[in-house]
Amino acid sequence: MTSVPSASVVSRSLHGNVLVVSIDHPPVNALSVDVRRGLVEAIDAAENDAAVAAVLIVGAGRNFIAGADIREFGKPPLPPLLPMVCNRIENCTKPVVAAIHGAALGGGLELALAAHYRIAVRGAKLGLPEVQLGLLPGAGGTQRAPRLIGAAGALDLMLSGRHARAEEARSLGLVDRLGATDDILGEGLAYARELLAAKAGVRPTRAAVAGLADADANRAAVAAARKDTPARTRGLFSPMKIVDAVDAALTLPFDEGLALERKLFLECLDSPQRAGLIHAFFAEREVVKAPETQSASARPIARVGIVGGGTMGAGIAVAVLDAGLPVTMIERDDAALARGRAHIERVYDGLVAKGRMKPEAKDAALARFAGSTAYDALANVDLVIEAVFEDMAVKKAVFAELDRVCRPGAILATNTSYLDIDDIASGTSRPADVIGLHFFSPANVMKLLEIVVPSRVAADVVATSFAFAKQLRKVPVRAGVCDGFIGNRLLAVYRTAADYLLEDGASPYQIDRAMRAFGYPMGPYQVVDLAGGDIGWAARKRRAPTRDARMRYVEIADRLCERGWFGQKTGRGFYRYEQGARVGTPDPEVEAIIESERLRAGIAPRSFTDDEIVRRLMCAVINEAANVVREGIALRPLDVDVALIYGYGFPRYRGGPMKYADMLGLPNVLAELERLSEEDAFFWKPSPLIVELVQRGADFASMNGTAS
Ligand code: 3HC
Ligand code: NAI
């Protein structure tokens, strides 16, 4: 074996007559400019070296190649561009083999598709996930994949962005061979030598016909995608471009198809959705790096206690059981405990009925569950999560019991939505062990976990909470203590701004429609009806004594609650739900109530465009979010973005409210707030942070400390 010097991220070594080209660019071998240069040099070198009969491309570390270097997007492109690198590989006059382990995603898979032969080992993940970043495969993937595996398979991969395992990739025809062992270099070399021995020559994928053979099926797949995709990918820009590109693969010569792919790729690259989605990609990797996770080590969590078996307690229990941990639940009495257990079983039965869980897995999960009405059962747990009624006296009584029975070093967490966790902590003899773990309903489904950090908590308790979130596969966001923390505090202003619009003349149905068109899965009043109007009603009553007199208060929702119209569960709310229907219909009686409330408040209704509705609700959220950042409740703007995307249905493709604000331009946001302040100087008072950023010519991104 002789080694040839080259760029440090791409090394070349001759193994007999096979040139091994190894990409070593941690963390994930992304195809940044140095890698692209190194690859072209390597292919040139192989062509010019008579001792080389074939080329083998491998990735060093855990992956083949994770794709294009996402950090380069939005910056001026540096040659050689990836499509050109792929073409260079395909045009090599000596056979090129790609040996795939770990991730071969996006541009990584496209590069492999441009090679002449592909082998993958077990555990490899192959995919074209560009759609999740607002893009399409832009290095020949839309043209080469259909030629290999047909339009249906290619569209499925590109429109879902899912990863296919090595075995599936083999059966689809994306790879030619499955390696028998995990030794990627050994397997790749053996395959390359076998090909040379069989005198297998170059085999450019551009000339492949297997995938194009069934023209009718391909045409049907494209037609079906054209029909279904808009509804399935509501509001997204790149999916239909993917369909257009695959269509071109079937109808145009290869080079023309490539040119169209490039044009469509650039359109996607320029789209605000690409900027929003890539921001979300980096932001969700950044949130887990809270300072305490760097400064302290996590305590081990092997046993978990949960107090309260209602909606949240049961949901949290499922989330913890699903992570493979044992759970002990405490309830007030046997009947409540039985309800809690039944709730958990119902969740699992639902999964079994849908075929998403095997009955044995349900039994195994329930075998880890124990219930008790005596707190002593929690003597040995490492973490307790309290999820009893939202009432300070009840919570304090529970924490006094936990303080009494739990072992030293056990973490005592509350799932409170609004209550002061410093107050809860100070009622115990161990405030350093008390933290907020704020789950969202349904707790076994929703990804967000707000980690609410009271003033006296120990750093390793915070670090443990982040590690626990990872065990549960949740997305943790660090929040400070205030009324509603990050998410519910922003939800409150969002709802208030919507209520102002309602009283001023918009209908709940128009507001919901406008916010759905903006990208939320549901409008604010649909959410109220789903969660139960009584919850917000209770919170409003609780806040009434301390509400600032300058705050305008809209009573419309109270009128509905007084009638017992709490939403879906009572059959009526802002909408009517006929016989348990989950989708409501507009209710003229609600409109009449709104009308009479306007009269009572002396308001002459006016009309609002959908655009005005979106602008007002977003300005309210952005402004309060700026206060949340300014007060240190959120560490950075990106923490707000992740919380709203994962807990509140904020459209991911807009990157979260802070990214959206930056895209609108903070001076424009400030100008709008100033205009609105003329109507209501208290509610719309511009956040001092926005004022300061605008004065400095800065944006929220400048406070994130990240590339996006
Ligand atoms: N470019 C730049 N950085 C990347 C990257 C990429 N394509 N993929 C991952 N990274 C970075 C992450 O930001 C993270 O950085 P950090 O340590 O500073 O936070 C680091 O690599 C490790 O990433 P993960 O934490 O996600 O590591 P995992 O081991 O959990 O997952 C992975 C690895 C499955 C490869 C996952 O990172 C992933 O899915 N990456 C993105 C894959 C992708 O979307 N590829 C398509 C890119 S677009 C493209 O190729 C366009 C082409 O068609 C022209
Ligand atoms: P819930 O009313 O459905 O359940 C509360 C449960 O606690 C009941 O089963 C009750 O029997 C039990 N309980 C009451 N006192 C107890 C005690 N002293 N000891 C043991 N068990 C006791 O309420 P839900 O909705 O589950 O809420 C629980 C907590 O989670 C509240 O603090 C709430 O604010 C918070 N939360 C609720 C969310 C939601 O969407 N429902 C979302 C996030 C947090």
Given 226, 254, 269, which residue is the final one in a domain?
A: 269
User: The tokens of 550 are what?
Assistant: 């300058």
Say if residues 56 and 192 touch (Cβ distance below 8 Å): yes
C-alpha atoms less than 13 angstroms from C-alpha of 112 in its C-beta half-sphere: 35
- Is 412 contained in some domain? yes
Residues 313 and 260 in one domain: no
- Is 283 contained in some domain? no
585's enclosing H/E stretch is: strand 585-586
User: The tokens of 178 are what?
Assistant: 């499955």
Which ligand 1 atom is the nearest neighbour of the CA of 281?
13
What is the distance, to the nearest Å, from the Cα of residue 315 to the centroid of all Cα atoms in its chain? 20
- Is 427 contained in some domain? yes
What residues of the chain score a pLDDT lower than 50? 1-6
Catalytic residue annotation: 110, 130
Residues 307 and 455 in one domain: yes
Strand, coil or helix: 302: coil
Q: What are the C-alpha distances in Å from 513 to residues 123, 235, 616? A: 44, 14, 15
Mutation pick for ligand 2 pocket among 306, 307, 311, 372 (CB with most ligand atoms within 8 Å): 311
- Is 430 contained in some domain? yes
* Cα(477) to centroid(ligand 2), Å: 22
Q: Which of 295, 238, 246, 244 is nearest to 267 (CA)?
A: 238
Q: What is the pLDDT of residues 38-80, one digit of tens each?
A: 999 999 999 999 999 999 999 999 999 999 999 999 899 999 9
- Name the domain count of the chain: 3
The backbone torsions φ and ψ at residue 307, rounded to the nearest 5 degrees and listed phi first, read -105, 120
Query: Domain range holding 615?
Result: 488-703
Cα–Cα distance, 124 to 128 (Å, whole number): 14
Which ligand 2 atom is the nearest neighbour of the CA of 417?
34
Nearest ligand to the CA of 83 is 1
Residues 474 and 531 in one domain: no
HEC string of 44-89 equals HHHHHCCCCCEEEEEECCCCCECCECHHHCCCCCCCCCHHHHHHHH
* Cα(94) to centroid(ligand 1), Å: 31
- Is 368 contained in some domain? yes
Q: Is the CB of 289 under 6 A from ligand 1?
A: no
Beta-bridged to residue 56, according to DSSP, are 20, 97
pLDDT above 90 as % of the chain? 95
Q: What is the pLDDT of residues 185-228, one digit of tens each?
A: 999 999 999 999 999 999 999 999 999 999 999 999 999 999 99
Which ligand 2 atom is the nearest neighbour of the CA of 330?
20
Q: Is the CB of 107 under 6 A from ligand 1?
A: yes
* Cα(362) to centroid(ligand 1), Å: 34
- Is 192 contained in some domain? yes
**Is omega for the bond preceding 27 within 30 degrees of 0, making it cis?**
yes
Q: Which of 236, 250, 124 is nearest to 188 (CA)?
A: 124
Q: Which of 61, 196, 174, 46 is nearest to 119 (CA)?
A: 174
Given 437, 458, 483, which residue is the final one in a domain?
A: 483
Which CATH number characterizes residue 503's domain? 1.10.1040.50
* Cα(336) to centroid(ligand 2), Å: 11
* Cα(589) to centroid(ligand 2), Å: 33
Residues 600 and 628 in one domain: yes
Residues 235 and 359 in one domain: no
Residues 473 and 509 in one domain: no
Specify the pLDDT at position 581.
85
Mutation pick for ligand 1 pocket among 70, 165, 473 (CB with most ligand atoms within 8 Å): 70
Residues 106 and 237 in one domain: yes
Nearest ligand to the CA of 384 is 2
Residues 680 and 561 in one domain: yes
User: What angle separates helix 657-664 from helix 637-648, to the nearest 10 degrees?
Assistant: 120
- Is 608 contained in some domain? yes
Residues 432 and 506 in one domain: no
Given 468, 483, 498, which residue is the final one in a domain?
A: 483
3-state helix, strand, coil in the chain (%, to 5): 55, 10, 35
Residues 476 and 505 in one domain: no
Residues 165 and 19 in one domain: yes
* Sequential DSSP letters for 640-697: HHHHHHHHH---GGGT-HHHHHHHH-HHHHHHHHHHHHTT-TTTTPPPHHHHHHHHHT
